[in-house]
Amino acid sequence: LRGGVTSSFDASIGHYGVDIAADEGAAVSAVYDGTIVLASFTSDGGYVIQIQHANNLVSVYKHNAALLKKQGDRVEAGDIIAVAGNTGEYTDGPHPHFELWYNGTPLDPQAFIAFSS
């Protein structure tokens, strides 16, 4: 997914990822090879997908319109896993919310990935 960051990581307020400007319906791709460990709907995050990667790294993708993979699916970096949307209570327009976690600790995705429009 290409798009600029509209809201940055800020652990002090519980925003453990970045919000990315995107059109509703845009393809959301896996950032790295891994296995889908969660593909579900939650009231706050809407349609959420989580991928377990090597070395205790987990990526999280929230507010999707639809999920294209299910729990247990193996994915490779670049595989389309979801469709960008506006689902869940914590959204005010189409914007994928993306998180990275390492050993249970949230990381600032902008320290590892260059986001651009």
CB atoms within 10 A of CB 68: 16
Mean pLDDT by 10 residues, the chain (117 residues): 87 95 91 98 96 97 97 98 92 88 97 81
Question: What is residue 117's predicted lDDT score, i.e. its pLDDT?
Answer: 55
What predicted TM-score, i.e. pTM, was given to this entire model?
0.94
Question: What is residue 102's predicted lDDT score, i.e. its pLDDT?
Answer: 98
Question: What is residue 85's predicted lDDT score, i.e. its pLDDT?
Answer: 93
